[in-house]
Amino acid sequence: MTSPARDWGAENWADVLPSVLGFKRPPIDLYVVARHRRIRRLSFRFIIPRGMMVPVEGGFEVYLRDQAQKELDISKPETMQDLSFRQRFSLAHEIAHTRFYRFSDSVPSADAMTPTWRSLEDNCDRMAGCILIPTNLLKQKIRDYGKEIDGGFVRSVASDFRTSVTVALERLRVVEAASSFDRCILLAQRVQGDAEIRSLFFGLGLSPVLPRPEKYTRITDWLPNFPRCALSQLTDSGSFAARTGRTITFTTTDLGNSGRFLLELQAA
């Protein structure tokens, strides 16, 4: 399947937007970013999509999915109680959509160069990640960590930037794409005695030892020697032999009751 084309200009725009607004540490106050992008109103509604944006006189209105109907005051600083991590991603996604509108009219109108729907949604997902975890702040956190990226670091990024582990891993995968670390960290979903890879960070130091994993692949298809007991919550650490003969150690960390877990692998 052909991957949708990336709009690198839009992603770069999203990545520098928090810096333009003066953010020097996480988390990003999305209300500040929303106001800057002329979002006039933010509300909770019981809607099917996770979020939706409506152009109005002078800007936009944004609605986020929630069981309760509520108006949010975005003239004030965003607090930790206002939005869930999923709602923060949805708001960042809708903020990203404003990049594809012209502000010259009284009611913003869609730019003629807007990508097709599927490419647009994929672009806005990636842009949302850039807004929530800008490259400069992520690199600073990596420098401050002072050691190789591991599962604890991934969880710390998610906590500090108030995002999901998925978003944290996706941003690490892009920002540290050329990393020479000899460690692989996966977010996986347990499925019928196996697990499916949902997101990943793969240090190039492991390339001579393990094949590069692909999203939505079953772990036992990727690594036939991986012990299945670790995929059914019977163990949280162990080792196995890779096809190259090298020993690979692993640890798993459950993420609540969702069946999702972090899998960290390293050559012994």
- What pLDDT was estimated at residue 104? 81
Task: Identify the bridge partners of residue 110 per DSSP, sorted by sequence position.
Answer: 101
Structure confidence by residue, pLDDT tens digits, 31-70: 999 999 999 999 999 999 999 999 999 999 999 999 999 9
Task: Output phi, psi for 101, to 5 deg.
Answer: -125, 150
Q: What is the mean pLDDT of residues 71-98?
A: 97
- What pLDDT was estimated at residue 4? 53
The residue length of the chain stands at 268
Residue 113 pLDDT greater than 80, yes or no: no
Higher pLDDT, 135 or 117: 135
Q: Kindly provide the b/e burial profile for residues 24-53, where b requires at least 16 CB atoms within 10 angstroms of the residue's own CB.
A: eebbbbbbbbbbebebeebebeeeeebbbb
Nearest to 92 by CA among 127, 53, 43: 127
Structure confidence by residue, pLDDT tens digits, 184-217: 999 999 998 899 999 999 999 999 999 999 999 9
| Ranges 66-70, 229-233, 256-260: which has the least confidence | 229-233
Q: What is this structure's pTM?
A: 0.92
Cα–Cα distances in angstroms (integers) from residue 165 to residues 120, 135, 153, 156, in the given order: 23, 16, 10, 9
The DSSP annotation for 13-69 comes to: HHHHHHHHTT--SSSP-HHHHHHHTTEEEEEEE--SSSEEEEEETTEEEEEEE-SS-
Residue 1 pLDDT greater than 50, yes or no: no
Max CA distance (Å), the chain: 66
- What pLDDT was estimated at residue 5? 60
Structure confidence by residue, pLDDT tens digits, 6-35: 778 899 999 999 999 999 999 999 999 999
Structure confidence by residue, pLDDT tens digits, 128-161: 999 999 999 999 999 999 888 999 999 999 999 9
Supply 239's token pair. Answer: 């080792």
Supply 67's token pair. Answer: 């069981």
